[in-house]
Structure 1
Amino acid sequence: MWRNLAVGLGWMAMSGIALAADADKIYINAQIVTMNDAQPAAQALAIKDGLVIAVGDQQSVLAHKSATTKVIDLKGKTLLPGFVDAHGHVSMTGLQAVSANLLPAPDGKGNSIAALQQILKEYAATPLARSKGIIIGFGYDDAQLKERRAPTRQELDAVSRDKPVLVIHQSGHLGALNSKALQMVGLNADSKDPEGGQIQREADGRTPNGVLEETAWFASGMKLIQPSPADYAAMLLAGQQLYARFGFTTGQDGRSDENSNKTWAGLAQGNKMLIDVVSYPDLAMPFTDELMRSAWNQRAYRGHFRVGGVKLSLDGSPQGKTAFLSHPYHVPPKGKPADYRGYPTFRDDEAERLIDKAYANNWQLLVHANGDAAADQMLSGVGKAVAKYGLLDRRNVMIHAQTVREEQLDAMQRLGIVPSFFGMHAYYWGDWHRDETLGPQRADRISPAMSALHRGMTFTQHHDAPVAFPDAIAILDAVVNRRTRSRDILGPDQRLPIAVALKSITLWAAWQHFEDGSKGSIEPGKLADLVVLSANPMTIDPEHLRSIQVLETIKEGNTIYQAKAPASVKSVKSVKSAKAAKDAAK
């Protein structure tokens, strides 16, 4: 129903026919950055039934005012399309929201192992930890810890010997367990390393020291996190609330598992979703085939949820030194040889088999490839699949593409692969990459978005939450300035213009999801997914981008997040998301 209305309104707008509908709401006195090249800026917009029906100068938009229209005066504040998540993990963000915050400054206080221990002890005393019988912390980062290493099982035993203690690396690709947790998951000196992962050992070379990498972590560490259905639903709602706080109206659940998809479906059927969530289940998992054959796998949302395609992970994280590189790490991890390059998740033949499966079924494919050797695996597999099944408009995505080389970008362009860059690394781990993982020359080219732009490629930027907060403003600051924590500029020639950076998290991100017909820009006929900012990113000094605040997030015309607004900002009270999208599948 609403899809048809959107198409009709869009056609009328393009045809120059006046839209006579009385507006539900009109925003005036705004600096509107539309992301629509045909009309880049405006001062007012009108909304009806969750859709934009007019955008332009104040006088023409106010023509849609009726006796029942709410007029909201933004008094010079900036209005943009709601941010679209090109890659993140909304379900894991929910886990982050209910865990102890182990992030280092500026997002937390986890800058030493002693600080982690204190944070975990304080969390252990909370009603949540006492009731669940487990102590969970999220976000430790050995790159920022004073000790420059992960906590060991003995250091986590100092938090508790009786309860399992589990801490998750900020990348999500590693974790550490105390002795109780290791015992519960059955890991001991006789345990073997799984393919695509490692169990770190103590000096005897046998006894686990508590740290698990990649598939060892996913297979064992995550077993300890088994929330009840009600708790899991609450976690997923908490993740959506965090997204809304940062201005996102569309979130992605990349590499989603069976439990999260069942819970998303339940929330959608119960009309309990706050934002749109598009899920990409793990291609390598057995449950995925059935999910991809279900009614959830479609382009239209049902109750604000849908399955968009599949996710395949080919390596780990560069900051954790598990990404698969073509050349050795600048400083190898302790105990590793000088030629250590990380390692792949799958053998080449298995990666090719899985890529072929996605192409054979015409499933959109998102491939996690941080290291350039992992990128080579993807390019080889996709090249063979394209030769077999044809190119088509698949919009398959290389997620992260952090160390992708120039000739690899050429191959991506030929094969129709969309780069989705994790440009926030320039700030969060730029110094670490320069000094530890990649060395100065390779670090300067990390997340080479300008190289893609020079080729005329459409690309996106993402936050990979909960690896970083789902913070769109932090993305803009990182990719426009590329300043590290130490204020160095990492690869100045890869800095993006602000207009391009904004497109990469709005219109181009919507395009990546095949949703640019309804999202990503402010145009008549599109969803009224909007964000109100304290300043205009197009005109502010780029060095001050990080100071911009999200004041309000609007999903289909209704406020789903509102900051404690300054006196100069008036808006409607927060309400539930509109029912319009609920009927989209009818």
Structure 2
Amino acid sequence: MSDDCLAALPASRAHLSSAISAAGHGIAPAHYAADSAAGSAADLLVVGRISTGDPLAPAAEAMAVSGGRIIALGSAADLDGLTGPATTVLSPDGVVIPGLIEPHAHIWVSLMTLDWTDVSHVACPGFDDVFAALKVAAATTAPGQYVLAKLFDPSLYPGEPALTRGMLDRVAADRPVVVLNASMHFAYANSAAFAAANISDDTPAPAGGTLEKIDGRLTGIVGEAPAVTMLLAGLPRPDAADVARGVRRLLTEFASQGVTSVREAMTGTLAGVSEIALLHQLNGARRLPARVSTAQFSALDGYTTPAEVAAAWKAAGVTPFSGDEMVRADAWKLVADGSNQGRSGYFLQPYLGETAGGHANWTPEGLRQAMRAGLADGWQLMIHTNGDAAVELALEAAEELLPGTDPHLRHRFEHASVTTDDQLARMASAGISPSFLMDHVYYWGAAFRDTILGADRAARLDRVASAYRAGLRPSLHSDYNVTKVHPLHSAQTAVLRRLEADGSVLGPDECATPAQALAAITTHAAWQIHADDRGVLRPGMRADFAVVDADPWTTDPAGWDGIDVHATYIDGTVAFSS
């Protein structure tokens, strides 16, 4: 798990770009719902327990749908006159709730490691469990093939242990073993992996990368994108069909958690406009399992300045809100700093035990130029800001640039991990809303408190309650594959703020109410991605809903993470069924 949106892009690009680029540059939206106007009679009548997410009318026993939109809710008797011979009646075994919204996840950069063994702290609570998982993977891998694992996070184990060449030689000596650090800034390799990549003790490190050595011998630790890319150069490349299957598999995984809409948070970094072309092609062949909103990245391979990148997107026909109801371009993405647990997030004060507080990815003027390029074309700004200094850097730029621009674009700060009261108030004044990665609290809260940031700053992590007090409309996200897409778990953490490590509560003043947490994964998240017709069940809204085994609006938040999703519907038709 990592919170660095820029992680190892060169390695992912080298692995996937040719397969994605096979889609070409032609964008052909399918427009499934273009001719499906809602009528006075229901195509679908949903009967059962319906939790609408609407505080003014929280429950119903029947919902009528026509042309993919809700035309009425109420009692079964109220809606009886809306049915006819062509009406399909659905009586689900469970509770109908609004489709959940995932406002920040990564499809493309997650594809490379989709089938790799999970050695995250979630899957491997102890360091010994990492070795057990790797040995199982090695036992099921044919001789000569790579043993590949992902999401190893030393910061979550006592002493922050590294995986060394000797350790991984003991996992398997006759085949390459490569483990990616959760930040994807580092990888760990055995001797066979180095040999497969033609890396020896005498190989010099590439510019910008590190091949760690002790007494002239490789330790097994490889650092930063150029060196990680070198290490992974020999991996088999997927073809276009593999990528297509991977995209559907990821979106089906999202739908299995009740998600009906997702924001792809860094589009174009691997294959430019071909990424959007491929989404439309896949959707045209068979509707995708979830709606996809894309955030166009402001730095693409082959272009020197953000203004050139903006011109390239525009020339390709990718403009604000272009696309259709299933795949739509919505935002302009920038990354102001790095990873907090990787100590590259940008802070006003140093990390514990260090003399620096990380660094910014932009100079102040460079950031302004990148923001201007997006604003000039009418994009919503979506700016990755982890540390409080990164928030300040982006906020000062926004306060200078946003006055006089379109006030309806709903600009966002991603993660906004550590903020001050003053910053939240200024965000509200500037028209900027935060989207919080709540698993920062759950998985990393103890590490931030004890070894990375200290108690005071850790208590200011993911300040959902304070955001509401400042008049903001926050959302919650997973940053997949940083953490699993599980909106109800994110909402649970926003309410409880209990740490996985020791069960303590981090920053109790920041505990959200259940209603606030649920709004942050439904109506507020939908609002942030300009999807005002989703996130609540109400006449006129899209019939995007999930069937679950318990109602989060009426049950104890302590049980939200255990709620099972039986089915997910888009426009009243099945997108996922368990």
Provide the TM-score with structure 2 as the length reference.
0.83
Kindly provide the CA deviation profile for residues 257-291 of structure 1, in whole angstroms up to 9, marking residues without a partner as x: 24344532431343352211122232111465433
Give how far 1:453 is off. 0.5
Give how far 1:208 is off. 7.0
Mapped to 2, the partners of 1:378 and 1:426 lie a distance apart of 23
In structure 2, the partner of 1:81 is: 98
Correspondence 1:371 to 2:387: yes
On the 8 A contact 2:154/2:161 being kept in 1, the answer is yes
On the 8 A contact 2:49/2:59 being kept in 1, the answer is no
In structure 2, the partner of 1:581 is: none
Correspondence 1:122 to 2:136: yes
On the 8 A contact 2:53/2:553 being kept in 1, the answer is no
Give how far 1:243 is off. 0.3
Correspondence 1:26 to 2:48: no
Counting only pairs closer than 5 Å after superposition, residues 313-332 of structure 1 correspond to structure 2 as 313-330=335-352, 332=353
Mapped to 2, the partners of 1:462 and 1:74 lie a distance apart of 28
Q: Which amino acid aligns with 2:380?
A: Q
In structure 1, the partner of 2:449 is: 434
Kindly provide the CA deviation profile for residues 282-316 of structure 1, in whole angstroms up to 9, marking residues without a partner as x: 21114654334433444254472222222212222
Q: Which amino acid aligns with 2:254?
A: Y
In structure 2, the partner of 1:168 is: 180
Of 185-194 and 231-240, the range deviating more from structure 2? 185-194
Correspondence 1:59 to 2:77: yes
Structure 1 pair 481–110 and aligned structure 2 pair: CA distance change class (3 A): closer
Kindly provide the CA deviation profile for residues 334-389 of structure 1, in whole angstroms up to 9, marking residues without a partner as x: xxxx21322333343433322222222222221111111221221233233225x6
Mapped to 2, the partners of 1:266 and 1:460 lie a distance apart of 30
Give how far 1:96 is off. 4.7
Counting only pairs closer than 5 Å after superposition, residues 262-281 of structure 1 correspond to structure 2 as 262-281=277-296
On the 8 A contact 2:98/2:522 being kept in 1, the answer is yes
Count the aligned residue pairs.
533
Aligned match of 2:160 in 148, 152, 155? 148
Correspondence 1:403 to 2:418: yes
In structure 1, the partner of 2:11 is: none
| RMSD of aligned residue pairs (Cα, Å) | 3.1
On the 8 A contact 1:426/1:478 being kept in 2, the answer is yes
Counting only pairs closer than 5 Å after superposition, residues 229-248 of structure 1 correspond to structure 2 as 229-248=240-259
Aligned match of 1:510 in 482, 503, 526? 526
Structure 1 pair 391–46 and aligned structure 2 pair: CA distance change class (3 A): closer
* Contiguous gaps of at least 5 residues in structure 2: 1-30, 303-308
Structure 1 pair 48–42 and aligned structure 2 pair: CA distance change class (3 A): same
On the 8 A contact 2:206/2:227 being kept in 1, the answer is no
Structure 1 pair 204–133 and aligned structure 2 pair: CA distance change class (3 A): same
Kindly provide the CA deviation profile for residues 366-423 of structure 1, in whole angstroms up to 9, marking residues without a partner as x: 1111111221221233233225x63632222110001122221122222221111112
In structure 1, the partner of 2:64 is: 46
Give how far 1:446 is off. 0.3
Kindly provide the CA deviation profile for residues 91-131 of structure 1, in whole angstroms up to 9, marking residues without a partner as x: 344445422121223xx23631x4334423433455xx659
Mapped to 1, the partners of 2:519 and 2:244 lie a distance apart of 32
| Percentage identity across paired residues of the two chains | 26
* Contiguous gaps of at least 5 residues in structure 1: 10-18, 333-337, 564-586
Mapped to 2, the partners of 1:87 and 1:327 lie a distance apart of 27
Mapped to 2, the partners of 1:204 and 1:356 lie a distance apart of 49
Kindly provide the CA deviation profile for residues 533-568 of structure 1, in whole angstroms up to 9, marking residues without a partner as x: 2112122123222222222211221222223xxxxx
Structure 1 pair 292–202 and aligned structure 2 pair: CA distance change class (3 A): farther
Give how far 1:230 is off. 1.5
Mapped to 2, the partners of 1:59 and 1:177 lie a distance apart of 66
In structure 1, the partner of 2:3 is: none
Structure 1 pair 525–391 and aligned structure 2 pair: CA distance change class (3 A): closer
Mapped to 1, the partners of 2:216 and 2:360 lie a distance apart of 22
Give how far 1:484 is off. 0.5
Structure 1 pair 172–383 and aligned structure 2 pair: CA distance change class (3 A): farther
Mapped to 2, the partners of 1:541 and 1:504 lie a distance apart of 17
On the 8 A contact 2:164/2:219 being kept in 1, the answer is no
Structure 1 pair 237–359 and aligned structure 2 pair: CA distance change class (3 A): same
Structure 1 pair 119–488 and aligned structure 2 pair: CA distance change class (3 A): same
